[in-house]
Amino acid sequence: VVGITGASGSIYGFRLIEKLANGEVRIGVVATRAGMRVSDEELGEGRLGELKKFPNVSFWENDDFEAPFMSGSNAPEAVIVAPCSMGTLSAIAHGSSGNLLERVADVALKERKRLILMVRETPLNLIHLENMVKAARAGAEMLPAMPAFYHRPASIDDMVNFVVGKTLSLLGVEHRLFKEWKGRTD
């Protein structure tokens, strides 16, 4: 399951789904209301909906409490929230499970499945930091949306691909989105 929240960086979720959709895996997408608003702003109106063209991608309403992966007996292998707002991080860290995305993250933690949170905010206050520690202690993996520069990105696409590539690497999915740093060769 890939969740898209109202943090800046909808492109990360979009690109991640595109890359995963080229494989054999089934992907459920849950976008929050704010996630859809920010995505319309950043990617263009309705762009997220383009992902429906992939036969293995299904979209779920965030208030749909009858989605199959809502229950521990049908837990997904991995839940990735990309990007993850501080609001959704807080809800996950506190187990409030007030919508489908928060609930499926909760299910991932309780069923010991992967939960990767691509958090994005700057600067971070103490509450944000403590919520990250809380979620990490419960088993979530923090993958902040932090592009690097050692691979000399020439475009925004290169920077997006770096962060999405890191996510795929963490999931054990092969990719060629950026060249790994091999140390100095001279």
Ligand X SMILES: Cc1cc2nc3c(=O)[nH]c(=O)nc-3n(C[C@H](O)[C@H](O)[C@H](O)COP(=O)(O)O)c2cc1C
Which stretches of the chain bind ligand X, using CB under 6 A? Answer: 5-8, 32, 34-35, 38, 41, 85-88, 120-121
State the nearest-atom distance from the C-beta of 144 to ligand X, in Å. 11
State the nearest-atom distance from the C-beta of 140 to ligand X, in Å. 15
Amino acid 23 reads G
List Cβ<8 Å contacts ≥24 apart for 167-172: 167/12, 167/16, 167/80, 167/82, 167/116, 167/118, 167/143, 168/16, 168/19, 168/20, 170/116, 170/141, 170/143, 171/78, 171/80, 171/114, 171/116
Between 8 and 175, name the residue whose CB sits nearer to ligand X. Answer: 8
State the nearest-atom distance from the C-beta of 59 to ligand X, in Å. 16
Between 83 and 165, name the residue whose CB sits nearer to ligand X. Answer: 83
Q: Angle at Cα 5 formed by Cα 71 and Cα 12, nearest 5°?
A: 110
Q: How far apart are CA 146 and CA 163, in angstroms?
A: 7
Between 7 and 100, name the residue whose CB sits nearer to ligand X. Answer: 7
CB atoms within 10 A of CB 28: 19
Q: Under a CB-based contact definition with an 8 Å cutoff, are residues 16 and 95 in contact?
A: no
Between 25 and 142, name the residue whose CB sits nearer to ligand X. Answer: 142
Using only C-alpha atoms, the chain has a radius of gyration, in whole angstroms, of 16
Between 9 and 76, name the residue whose CB sits nearer to ligand X. Answer: 9
